[in-house]
Amino acid sequence: MTDLDGVWCFLSGSNAPPSHGPPYPTMYHPPQRGPSPTKRSLQRSVTEKSLCHEPSAQSQKAKEAKLAVGVRMILESLGEDVEREGLLQTPERYARAMLFFTKGYSDNIGEKINDAVFDVAHNDIVIVRDIDLFSMCEHHLVPFMGKIHIGYLPNGRVLGLSKLARIAEVFARRLQIQERLTQEVARAIDDILHPQGVIVIAEATHMCMVMRGIQKTGAVTTTVHSTGVFMTDQRMEDRFHTLLNPRRFS
Ligand SMILES: [Zn+2]
C-alpha cells in the first residue's frame, strides 16, 4: 500500500471555508492502516462524498452567473455602458475566464498524480525546472507569472516527472500570494513522497507591481521553500542550485 491510498481533496463550493482566502487547509486524509479493506473503502467513499465531490456542471453555471453579475457591477462602477456592443458578453466571458484562472480550487491532487508514485532506489536529486507558472494575486486579482523549479531527494520513491508540474498547477490556479504557493507545492510533494527533502523556487513577475505601484517592469520576485536535507545540509542545497543553473546561482 502506498500513501496514494490516502485521499487528497480540496474544499470547494458550498464546503469552502469563509471568504478570507483559498480553501485551507488542503485536505489530505492519510491512508487508513488499521481497519479492514471493507471499512477502509467505506471510510473513503464517505470522505469522498462529503469533501471531494467534483463541482457539477450546474454549480459551474451558477458560479458563472454570480460572477457575471459582479462584473456587470464593476463595469457600471467604471461609468461604462454595459449595453454597448463590445461589452455585451464581457461579464459572462470574464466569468468563464476567472473560473479557468482559479480552477485549482476544484482540482484533486490524488487524481492528478494517479498511480505515478514508483518505488525506485534512486538516491540523488531529482529536478524539474522552468515549469510555467500562471497565478492570480489575491490582493489585486491580477496575474503573476513566471517559472517554478522543483527539486527533491527521494527516499525510495519517485513521482512521475510530469506530475510535479501538475501539482504546481493545482496550487497556482487559485488566488495566491507567491510565498504561500511556493510552500504549498513543497509541502504537497513532502506529503506524497516523504522524500529526504524538497526545495521549490518560484520566480515571478507581478502585474500589480508592473502596471501600478512602483511600475518596475523588470522586477522579478523569487521565493524559496525547502524541507528536510535542503534545510539542514548546505552542501545538498548548493548541489541543487548548481544543477539548477550554474550560471545564475553559483
Ligand atoms: Zn498584487
Q: What is the pLDDT of residues 171-191, one digit of tens each?
A: 999 999 999 999 999 999 999
pLDDT above 70: percentage of residues in the chain: 74
Confidence of residue 114 (pLDDT cuts 50, 70, 90): confident
- The residue extents of the domains of the chain are 57-103, 116-249
Angle, CA of 119, 121 and 123, to the nearest 5°: 125
**Cα 143 to middle of ligand 1, angstroms:** 8
Q: What is the largest CA-CA distance in the chain?
A: 64
**Cα 207 to middle of ligand 1, angstroms:** 7
| 33-40, long-range: CB < 8 A, 24+ apart | 33/1, 40/5
pLDDT above 90: percentage of residues in the chain: 64
**Cα 56 to middle of ligand 1, angstroms:** 31
**Cα 140 to middle of ligand 1, angstroms:** 4
Confidence of residue 111 (pLDDT cuts 50, 70, 90): confident
Backbone angles phi, psi at 88, to 5 degrees: -55, -45
Q: What pLDDT does residue 159 have?
A: 95
**Cα 175 to middle of ligand 1, angstroms:** 10
**Cα 179 to middle of ligand 1, angstroms:** 12
**Cα 206 to middle of ligand 1, angstroms:** 7
**Cα 139 to middle of ligand 1, angstroms:** 5
> Please, how many CA atoms are within 13 Å of residue 39, restricted to the half-sphere of its CB?
6
> Using alpha carbons only, how large is the chain's radius of gyration in Å?
21
Q: What pLDDT does residue 180 have?
A: 98
Q: What is the pLDDT of residues 42-58, one digit of tens each?
A: 334 333 333 344 555 66
Judged by average pLDDT, the poorest of 26-30, 136-140, 200-204 is: 26-30
Give CATH for domain 57-103. Answer: 1.10.286.10
Q: What is the mean pLDDT of the chain?
A: 81
Give CATH for domain 116-249. Answer: 3.30.1130.10
